[in-house]
């Protein structure tokens, strides 16, 4: 784990991780109420700094997270989250979980459809007939609208500063983010410079990939975490998916959608 990666993980948690989770919390609250489970086991895929793991654990769930980033996991362990290192295409955990999540548009970082199907298959192996998978992905129309702008996103706070300069290549449906800044760690101020890429996936391609992995969509909920939609020329900001294994029975206890 390099100091630069450790600095980014800490600054990301402060600037974006907490902010996004505060916005998604109500969506999770509503999903857990609408789809209740007698079994309280939870897996967070691409768990990052462990905020969702703590959220479930604080509500009495046996919760565990998996992520490939050791710096992110170091921050998660400081949050007293139960996390393990691993590739989410081959989740290194046995057994199944009643609820599986993947948040923070983590799956948009997957750029190849075969890789997306591999992740969904790994998730499916961690589910049984009563399990549900909750995840969010960016609506494809936000990439030219948000990632395609010339003005960088900036965030500063006690002990950190981040600048995220984004661009979007429509032909490849790829967004690119150059992340620069600094964070104050125990050893002093550490510079940050990283490049991240995301793919703009359509709802159709996501649904097809889920189907190829043996999962089916129960619901798709439009989600605007930072109330941006009124200022954008786009149909949506994020898509929140609720999925189950293909052929699994419907949840027996569920609030009526049209009461």
DSSP string, 87-132: -TTS----S--SEEEE-TTGGGG--SHHHHHHHHHHHHHT--TT-E
As given in the structure block, the two tokens for residue 201 are 């996936």
Q: Report the pLDDT value the prediction gives residue 250, as an integer from 0 to 100.
A: 55
pLDDT above 60 for 16 = yes
* Percent above pLDDT 90 for the chain: 77
Q: Which residues are 189's β-sheet partners?
A: 184
Within a domain: 253: no
128 and 150 part of one domain: no
Q: Domain for residue 220, yes or no?
A: yes
Using DSSP's 3-state secondary structure scheme, residue 219 falls into: strand
Given a cut of 90, whether residue 228 has pLDDT beyond it is: no
Q: How many domains does the chain have?
A: 2
Counts for the chain of helices (H) and strands (E), in that order: 7, 11
> Same structural domain for residues 37 and 118?
yes
Q: What are the distances in angstroms from CA 99 to CA 36, 92, 233?
A: 10, 17, 34
How many angstroms separate the CA atoms of 82 and 196, rounded? 26
- Are 217 and 232 found together in one domain? yes
7 three-state secondary structure? helix
Phi, psi of 95 (to 5 degrees): 85, 180
Assign residue 155 the CATH number of its domain.
2.20.25.110
> If you count them, how many residues does the chain have?
259
Q: Do 7 and 53 sit in the same domain of this protein?
A: yes
C-alpha–C-alpha distance, residues 82 and 162, integer Å: 28
Does residue 204 lie within any of the structural domains? yes
Q: CB of 135 within 8 A of CB of 102?
A: yes
* Residue 69 within any structural domain of the chain: yes
Going by C-alpha positions, the residue among 111, 166, 120, 113 that lies closest to residue 142 is: 166
Do 211 and 83 fall into the same domain?
yes
Same domain, 72 and 180: no
Give tens-digit pLDDT for 165-204. 999 999 999 999 999 999 998 879 999 999 999 999 999 9
Range of the domain at 165: 144-197
In a domain, 103, yes or no: yes
Q: Are residues 88 and 215 in the same domain?
A: yes
Q: For the whole prediction, is pTM greater than 0.75?
A: yes
Q: How confident is the model at residue 5 (pLDDT cuts 50, 70, 90)?
A: low
């Amino acid at each position: 784990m390099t100091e630069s990666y450790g600095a980014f993980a800490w600054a990301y948690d402060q600037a974006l991780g907490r902010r996004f989770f505060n916005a998604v919390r109500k969506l999770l609250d509503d999903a857990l109420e609408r789809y209740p489970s007698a079994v309280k086991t939870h897996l967070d895929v691409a768990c990052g700094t462990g905020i969702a793991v703590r959220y479930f654990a604080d509500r009495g769930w046996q919760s565990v997270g998996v992520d490939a980033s050791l710096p992110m996991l170091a921050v998660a362990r400081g949050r007293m989250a139960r996390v393990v290192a691993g590739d989410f295409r081959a989740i290194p955990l046995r057994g199944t979980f009643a609820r599986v999540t993947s948040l923070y548009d983590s799956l948009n970082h997957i750029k190849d459809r075969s890789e997306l199907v591999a992740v969904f298959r790994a998730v499916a192996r961690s589910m049984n007939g009563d399990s549900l998978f909750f995840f969010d992905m960016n609506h494809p129309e936000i990439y030219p609208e948000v990632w395609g702008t010339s003005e960088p996103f900036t965030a500063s706070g006690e002990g950190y500063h981040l600048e995220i300069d984004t661009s979007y290549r429509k032909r490849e449906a790829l967004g690119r983010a150059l992340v620069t800044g600094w964070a104050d760690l125990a050893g002093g101020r550490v510079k940050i410079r990283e490049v991240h890429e995301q793919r703009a996936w359509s709802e159709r391609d996501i649904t097809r990939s889920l189907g190829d992995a043996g999962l089916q969509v129960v619901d798709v909920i439009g989600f605007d975490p930072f109330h941006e939609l009124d200022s954008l020329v786009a149909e949506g900001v994020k898509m929140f998916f609720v999925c189950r294994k293909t052929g699994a029975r419907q949840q027996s206890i569920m609030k009526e959608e049209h009461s």
